[in-house]
Amino acid sequence: MPSIKILYCFLLVLWLEVAHVSSRALLRRTVSEYHERFRQAAASRSAGLDGSDHAASVKRRVFYPGRYGADPTGEEDSTHAITRAVHDAFSVQQGLNLLAGVNDLGGVVIDLQGGNYKISNPIRLPSGNGNVVIHGGTLRASLNFPTDGFLIELLSNSSLARPLQSSSIQPTNSVLTPPGYYYEDITFQDILFDSSFRGGGILVVDSVRTRIDNCFFIHFTTQGLLVERGHETFISSSFLGQHLTAGGDPLERNFSGVAIDLASNDNAITDVVIFSAATGIMLRGQANILTGVHCYNKATYWGGVGVYVKLPGLGQTRIDNSYMDYTGIVLEDPVQVHITNAFFLGDAYITLKSVKGQISGLNIVDNMFSGSGRGTPIVKLDGPFTTVDQVVVDRNNVLAMKLKSTIGKRSVTANGTRWVVDFSSDLVFPNRINHLQYSFYVNGQCRFPSHKVTNVSSNVVVVEADREVQGTVLVTVDQNTLPGEKCLFE
CA 156 – CA 159 distance, rounded (Å): 5
The CA–CA distances, whole Å, from 42 to 49, 60, 378 equal: 12, 13, 64
| pLDDT for residue 108 is more than 70 | yes
What is the pLDDT averaged over residues 448-455?
92
Q: Name the nearest CA neighbour of 406 among 437, 382, 379.
A: 379
Residue 165 CB contacts under 8 Å (≥ 6 apart), including other chains: 228, 263, 284
Q: Residue 423: is it exposed, middle or buried by C-beta count within 10 angstroms (0-12/13-18/19+)?
A: buried
Q: Give the model confidence (pLDDT) of 38-88 as tens digits.
A: 444 443 344 444 444 445 555 678 999 999 999 999 999 999 999 999 999
Residue of 301 and 487 predicted with greater confidence: 301
The DSSP line for 263-293 is: EEES-EEES-EEEE-SEEEEE-SSS-EEES-
Question: How far apart (Å, rounded) are the C-alpha atoms in residues 442 and 448?
Answer: 7
Asked if pLDDT for residue 406 goes beyond 50, the answer is yes
Distance CA 142, CA 199 (A): 11
Mean pLDDT for 427-441 is 93
Q: What's the confidence (pLDDT) of residue 445?
A: 67
- Phi and psi at residue 318, to the nearest 5°: -125, 125
User: Does residue 338 carry a pLDDT above 60?
Assistant: yes
pLDDT above 80 (res 484): no
| Whether the predicted pLDDT of 17 surpasses 90 | no
Of the candidates 327, 377, 380, the residue with the CA atom closest to the CA atom of residue 351: 380
Mean pLDDT of 180-184: 93
The reported pLDDT for the residue numbered 20 is: 54
Q: Would you place residue 372 in the very low, low, confident or very high pLDDT band (cuts 50, 70, 90)?
A: very high
Give the per-residue pLDDT at 490: 60
Asked if pLDDT for residue 279 goes beyond 50, the answer is: yes
Burial class (CB in 10 A: 0-12, 13-18, 19+), 3: exposed
Nearest to 188 by CA among 160, 148, 227: 227
Whether the predicted pLDDT of 404 surpasses 60: yes
Instruction: Report the distance separating Cα 470 and Cα 318, nearest Å.
Output: 49
For 140-174, what is each residue's pLDDT tens digit? 999 999 999 999 999 998 888 776 766 544 444 43
Q: How much of the chain exceeds pLDDT 90, in percent?
A: 76
- The predicted pLDDT at position 402 comes to 97
Residue 31 clears pLDDT 60, i.e. is over it: no
What pTM was estimated for this model as a whole?
A: 0.84
| Ramachandran region, residue 51 (left: φ > 0; alpha: ψ -120 to 50; beta: rest) | left
Average pLDDT value for residue range 201-229: 97
- Mean pLDDT, the chain, rounded, equals 87
Residues in CB range of 107: below 8 A, 6 or more apart: 61, 131, 132, 133
